[in-house]
Amino acid sequence: MAENFNLEEHIAHGVEKIVSDTLKATLKDPRESAFMLKFAAASRKATKIRQKLAEGGEHIPSFLIASITSSCNLHCAGCYSRFNKATVDSKPVKQLSTDEWLTIFREAEELGVSFIMLAGGEPMLRWELIKKAGTMQNILFPIFTNGTYLNDSYLALFDKCRNLIPVMSIEGGKEATDLRRGPGVYEKLITNMDAFHEKNLLFGASVTVTTENIKEVTSAEFLSSLASRGCRLVIYVEFVPVTEDAKYLAPGDVEREYLTAAMSDLREVYPDMILLAFPGDERADGGCMAAGRGFFHINSHGGAEPCPFSPYSDINVRDASLREAMQSRLFRALRDGDFLDDDHVGGCVLFEKREQVEAMLNQQEN
């Protein structure tokens, strides 16, 4: 971990910066700005809650990732979720219900969690749950979606509930996107973005960075295309190789150095866009933020996991509170050891060390 790195200050500053940057990006839309001003106040209140708990020795991260379904209509090449069997084609069994998820969201709010990222599978399959999440205005819900289920009903919902922000997955241009996600997906995404732009709705894009597309997705042409359609958030995530024959796609030292330099330049050129890189920004701030250091993950069946790339759990929120889950033995062991600090191949240190994490989990069970 970096010398003098203070996690509490980092998380609090990160939340405030994202809100501040979003406000700057939405000044042309009075409704969006009005919501973000209210959310900024709620975020400051949440920070005080976390700080008070921290004074008592209890760290609460400001981010929660919630995989609200194990269903998805796409079979994207190299999907870690399907590799981990977290996403399947069969009908979901014993998934958390809408009421169970709302209980988790309310408890998260009480603990000072400001951001709950909705993932899957394809989260937009859970219409009723997302609609309920929209009523929780003190929490910002980025929705990581493949974009194929966007329709007029969702557009109306996003217009009404500005705390719901879709983040659509795109891999660059048409060729790169359709190659990974399937024919016609790119055109659907562009149509979605144009519809959002027409209604002045905030949305973002998620980009999986590989050795093949890194220059395209960090080019001025790509960013300008997104910016011209109203995109105000771009999240770059390094590809995690789930098979040996896909390792060549994972960014190495050369690509990481290139991405770091590109991000610095792009932030200067596009000041109205929020540009984030994972795990690059984590490395700069002291290492992986999983296992409750900066965020943690609840899977579709209630298991509390370090992150979506590390599907290991020793506690379920059906049997324990969210607060207890954050302090699980597995999470504490990962935070207290050196698992989260080392360098690694691809975008996830815990995926790279999965055999060690499994051994640790088995040791605890025995």
Q: Where are the domains of the chain?
A: 7-365
Which tokens hold the place of 106? 């309310």
Distance, CA of 117 to CA of 68 (rounded, Å): 10
SS3 content of the chain, % helix, strand, coil (to 5): 45, 15, 40
Cβ-based neighbours of 201, under 8 Å, separated by 6 or more: 32, 155, 158, 159, 230
Class of the CATH domain delimited by 7-365: alpha beta
DSSP element (H, E) containing 145: strand 141-145
AA letter at 174: K
Helix boundaries (H) for the chain: 7-25, 30-55, 80-83, 98-110, 127-133, 152-160, 174-181, 185-198, 214-217, 220-228, 253-269, 280-284, 322-326, 329-336, 349-352, 354-365
Asked if 33 contacts 23 with a C-beta cutoff of 8 angstroms, the reply is: yes
CB 193 within 8 A of CB 167: no
HEC profile for 332-354? HHHHHCCCCCCCCCCCCHHHHCH
The tens place of each residue's pLDDT in the chain, 366 residues long, gives 344 434 445 445 555 566 666 666 666 667 777 787 888 889 889 989 999 998 998 888 888 999 999 999 999 988 878 877 888 888 888 899 999 999 999 999 999 999 999 999 999 999 999 999 999 999 999 999 999 999 999 999 999 999 999 999 999 999 999 999 999 999 999 999 999 999 988 899 999 999 999 999 999 999 999 999 999 889 999 888 877 788 889 888 899 899 989 998 998 999 878 888 886 555 555 566 776 777 889 999 999 988 887 788 889 999 999 999 988 888 888 777 666 555 544 556 666 666 666 666 666 655
